[in-house]
Amino acid sequence: MASKITKIGVLTSGGDSPGMNAAIRSVVRTCAYLKIECVGVYRGYQGMIEGDFKALDARSVNNIINKGGTILKSARCDDFRTKEGREKAHTQLIKEGIDAFVVIGGNGSFKGALLFNEEYDFPVIGIPGTIDNDILGSSYTLGFDTAINTVVDAIDKIRDTASSHNRLFFVEVMGRDVGHIALNAGVGAGAEEILIPEQNLGLERLLDSLKRSKASGKSSSIVIVAEGDKTGKNVFELKEYVEEHLPIYDVRVSVLGHMQRGGSPTCFDRVLASRMGVKAVESILEGKSNLMVGIKDTKMVLTPLAEAIKAHTDIDEELIRVSDIMTT
């Protein structure tokens, strides 16, 4: 198979994350280094279906390592979920002479890649790009480190107001299914409580913790809430609940939203992206397919895409314990 690969496609798919551009740059430059043609597929699988392609050379990716978002654009594509959509995409790839592709994205993007490979035996390698850090087979996904630093920076600023006005803030962070952003940024920013989907401690515990906090002399508090938390109340309802049961608190809400997905990637994400791009292209040229590049114990590793999409990564129990101790 190795000798047959002369042109590799690269696309970003699903929610964007900081570090995607650094990964695109790495794929393109590794191809250039190995004298393989590289084609950018625009707007994720939608662009693949529509043949939205552009040849990329080493100079096409100048000055993007430091940029957030993705120069290739991204989309969540419903058409690619259908057999007809995937057939159109295959026709376009063959027409363009693309022999294999690298998809940078999350779980949904890998599911699509796997289906496509099953139907057309088309070589594909995944790079995990999502701020959620929820993909099995890699200790870190691209964008997670940047996102937690962005969240910590935002909470540090919110803390200024919280402490100046003796207020309690509920800060909602991203994490639809997992609480990695909430837990890590919560510990990093010194949050009083962290509500995550993996652990529903109940509203009583929240009230107890806030009561204890006041009694211990703290004048302000930050509670981090992952958007997928399981208390059954959103941040605004939590505010009302606490105001009703603990009127001593002056409560405010801050929803950080998409600012968590933007911004210049950290050095960690840039280095990780560069390493992953090299590994992805080299793996394709070694005849490998259906695998995701990841990092474990500082080493690049490959995991079957079928494994990577099976479940979300577990929350770090030790970090939960650390967080509990820190709120003493």
Point out which residues bind ligand F6P (CB under 6 A): 15, 106, 130-132, 174-176, 227, 261
DSSP SS3 for 327: coil
The answer to whether residues 279 and 300 touch, using CB atoms and an 8 Å cutoff, is: yes
DSSP string for 301-317:
EEEEHHHHTTSPPPP-H
State the number of CA atoms in the 13 A half-sphere of 307 facing the CB: 11
Task: Check 16, 99, 132, 145 and give the catalytic one.
Answer: 132
Rounded to a whole number of angstroms, the minimum distance from the CB of residue 17 to ligand F6P is 7
Residue 234 contacts by C-beta under 8 Å, 6 or more apart in sequence? 172
Residue among 133 and 220 whose Cβ is closer to ligand F6P: 133
Rounded to a whole number of angstroms, the minimum distance from the CB of residue 291 to ligand F6P is 21
If 0-12 CB within 10 Å is exposed, 13-18 middle and 19+ buried, where does residue 300 land?
middle
Rounded to a whole number of angstroms, the minimum distance from the CB of residue 261 to ligand F6P is 5
Q: How far is CA 198 from the centre of its chain?
A: 17
Q: Where are the beta strands (DSSP E) in 155-239?
A: 167-173, 193-195, 221-226
Rounded to a whole number of angstroms, the minimum distance from the CB of residue 270 to ligand F6P is 20
Rounded to a whole number of angstroms, the minimum distance from the CB of residue 15 to ligand F6P is 4
Rounded to a whole number of angstroms, the minimum distance from the CB of residue 38 to ligand F6P is 26
DSSP string for 38-94:
EEEETTHHHHHHHT-EEEE-GGGGTT-TT--S-TT-----SGGGSHHHHHHHHHHHH
- Report d(CA 41, CA 154) in Å as an integer: 34
Q: Does 16 participate in catalysis according to the annotation? A: no
Closest by CA to 212, choosing from 119, 113, 89, 327, is 327
DSSP SS3 for 280: helix
Measured between its terminal Cα atoms, the distance across the chain in Å is 59
DSSP string for 196-210:
BTTB---HHHHHHHH
Q: How far is CA 267 from the centre of its chain?
A: 16
Q: Which residues are tagged catalytic?
A: 132
